[in-house]
Structure 1
Amino acid sequence: MGLRILFSVVKNLKHLTIPLSHIKLATNDFSETYKICHMEGSTMYRAKLYHHDKGNHSSKRYNTVLIIRYPFGDEYYTEMDFLTEIEILTSGVKHPNIVTLLGFCIEAFEMILVIDNISNGFLGDSLENIDKKRILTWEKRLKICIDVAHALNYIHSELDDQKMLIHRDICSYNIGLDENLGAKIVHFWRSVFMPPNHEDQALHLELVGRQNYVDPEYMNTYKVKRESDVYGFGVVLLEILFGRLANGQIYTNEGEKGLVFVARQSFYTGTLDEMIDPIIKEETVENSFVLNRGPNKDSLHTFIAIAHQCVIKTQDKRPTMKVVVNELEKALFFQVSHCSNFILSMPRSNLFDYLS
């Protein structure tokens, strides 16, 4: 599909078009100064740019945004993929934990999306960076997981007109973190809408997604269901628990078959605790001046149990995202209650120092 045809398809979205000249001015002609990362062929920039205000076609605002520049004519990311992402993000898919499309540019062999600023980068970055990972206390990790779970539950079962969306590429690098570490799902170009009233059926589609996150039943049969997203999310839960990405060498050395295989074996042998991120384990050290003191036992066990259910090999045995949300919120409740009880049990003199 050429740019002319592509543009004609989105002609009803003219209010979202942003001139290339504006984007070049904002990024100083795509200067390295504004570049934040290069991923899967796309290059991301952070800059201040005029764009239409959310939900208001007649109003514009000037603020910091994320600019994603895709290569035109690339086999990996095609014009149809670009169109798919625009269509999905302008089709009524709106949720606080799903990125908002602020505008796009199709001009001079450029394909560019402008989305919410993700000021704290991607979850994958935080799990690879020791300093960023230390900020992610157990409670903050639970809240990130709950944010993503709510977004997945929304696209799986709460869209209007009986629609259901399958993301097909849930992974730590498709989860952005805002200034408050709130999580937002990004990158919908591999996503597909299921026909109405087909929520319990499967689509037969070509295999896409990152190897370490792909649903094994989808991989073997090419049948994709919403439970395929549940599996990918289960891998993310394990990454957050262990503080390592699924492609880490520790999971592939000595003939190991990946994070899920190692986690599953450890779950059955009762040695999973040995794999937990030492950073959150350290939070459990008695220290009356640290509010988040690490995983409460009930919180941790609830989290581990639901993560294990999410990565079950068979699609139909995995929980729905509604169940996942409930279990993660239960884990957060145990954790918050644990911290609250700790505060209330402290001597009054120590409590003043603790809260000051």
Structure 2
Amino acid sequence: MSSLENKLGHLKIHLNDIKSATNNFSETYTIASWDDEYTLYRVELNCSDKENLSSEKGKNIGEHPKGHDIVVIKRYTSGNQCFGEEERFTEIEMLSSVEHPNIVTLIGFCIEDSEMILVIENVSNGYLRNYLRNDNDMRILTWEKRLKICIEVANALEHLHSEMEDQKMIIHRDICSCNIGLDENWRAKIDGFGDCVFLPPYQEDEAVYIKWRGRSPYIDPEYEKTNKLKRESDVYSFGIVLLEILCGRVADDPLYMKESDKGLGPVARQSFSTGTLEDMIDPILKEETSEYNFVLKRGPKKESLHTFMKIAYQCVAETQDQRPTMKVVVKELEKALSFQLNSEVKSDYVEEKSHASIIETQVVELSNELNSMNMTDKSENFEIHNKENMLHDQADDPAEPNCCKFAMF
């Protein structure tokens, strides 16, 4: 461990600096806390001594070397039985060696006294689990936005499973909604690599036998029974996240736990097999209200929804060999997004055409009305003009009254 700590010495941050930034870990800066495992704080931290990080690690850590950066402080609970020294260094090693736009960037770490702290890039829009617990927040996540988040997480997992250098494979082992952050552009960032496992060069049937770890509703049931860990174990966990995003609830919501002690997965599988999974869809996605009355709803389109539901169901199959690879998952999710975007383009065309027809009709009606008014005005003006002419003629008539005629003779 000491060799790794020395190797990553340039990433060390002093505990006093972190305490100063968080005002001694004040709740004022807390953004999340997960099951007594760790607490997250969002603060400004002086990173001026990190000038050479990007050149040393090939990351974008040093892009803002001067002044204060907004970062997230991840403070692990002291004495945590599930997250010891080995897991701490595993996470540091993992985050310092892997670069991907959908994997959170490690800025630094602190191991002093009994403290284990990671400093990671700011995920300014928080973590996915927070949205699943709040209806008002879930309204922000449109179907299109949810699809993009899913695709980004899937891309990161595909990278870990089959696109690493030297064909290494990494199994995350803790994919869940509380380990998916969202940055200022709503880009998904995978976090929580303390339980990840490095495997030898990728092979089709690669597996390792290791005691299962993870959060109950997300754990691959075959892995839990046999301790056989495969990349398909991550696929199962990700499938649960897909279902959470579809249903708008966390996997361990009491609604699901009443039906199964494993939460959302078994409940969704049963509903899919009976053709009732659509009944579980987040009601927010079905709403037809919008900011403007003339805008058509942007909920899931039929082809998009069914493609998404099908791949989510395949991901949470009970056995590992029934599940797709992440490459297949990415392809299907991208197909679901394509169906959604194409439908919206068509809807926009129909909408614009409809608006054009309405406007055209209104223009014609207005034109007819104006023409009618003009004709009426012309008719009235004609009558008035005739009357004026008659009066004018009467005033200028050369024939004089009879009394005058008699006088002239």
Instruction: Name the TM-score, length of structure 2 as normaliser.
Output: 0.80
3-state SS, counterpart of residue 56 of structure 1: helix
3-state SS, counterpart of residue 346 of structure 1: helix
Which structure 1 residue ranges, 4+ long, deviate > 6 Å from structure 2? Answer: 284-287
Correspondence 1:66 to 2:72: yes
Q: Check 1:49–1:199 CA distance in 2 against 1; reply closer, same or farther (3 A cut).
A: farther
3-state SS, counterpart of residue 351 of structure 2: coil
Equivalence for 2:93: 87
Structure 1 unaligned residues grouped into runs of 5+: 1-5, 352-356
CA drift of 1:291 comes to 6.2
CA distance in 2 between counterparts of 1:256 and 1:228 reads 19
3-state SS, counterpart of residue 336 of structure 2: helix
Equivalence for 1:22: 17
Contact 2:296 2:351 in 1 (8 A): no
- Alignment root-mean-square deviation, CA: 2.2
Contact 1:167 1:191 in 2 (8 A): yes
Which is richer in helix? 2
Equivalence for 2:270: 265
CA drift of 1:348 comes to 5.3
3-state SS, counterpart of residue 118 of structure 1: coil
Q: Which amino acid aligns with 1:25?
A: S
Deviates more, 1:48-57 or 1:122-131: 48-57
Contact 1:256 1:262 in 2 (8 A): no
CA distance in 2 between counterparts of 1:34 and 1:106 reads 21
Q: Check 1:255–1:224 CA distance in 2 against 1; reply closer, same or farther (3 A cut).
A: closer
3-state SS, counterpart of residue 8 of structure 2: helix
Equivalence for 1:130: 135
Q: Check 1:296–1:306 CA distance in 2 against 1; reply closer, same or farther (3 A cut).
A: same
3-state SS, counterpart of residue 44 of structure 1: strand
CA distance in 1 between counterparts of 2:95 and 2:261 reads 38
Percent same amino acid among aligned pairs?
57
* 1:132-163 alpha-carbon deviations (Å, 9 max, x no partner): 10111111110110010000001001010111
Q: Check 1:178–1:197 CA distance in 2 against 1; reply closer, same or farther (3 A cut).
A: closer
3-state SS, counterpart of residue 247 of structure 1: coil
Contact 2:239 2:312 in 1 (8 A): yes
CA drift of 1:176 comes to 0.7
Structure with higher RCO (Cα < 8 A, 6+ apart): 1
* 1:11-36 alpha-carbon deviations (Å, 9 max, x no partner): 01111111112111211121221122
CA drift of 1:254 comes to 5.2
Q: How many residues were matched structurally?
A: 346
Q: Which amino acid aligns with 1:34?
A: Y
Correspondence 1:325 to 2:333: no
CA drift of 1:213 comes to 0.5
* 1:30-56 alpha-carbon deviations (Å, 9 max, x no partner): 122112222242121110113336623
1:43 aligned residue (39, 42, 65): 39
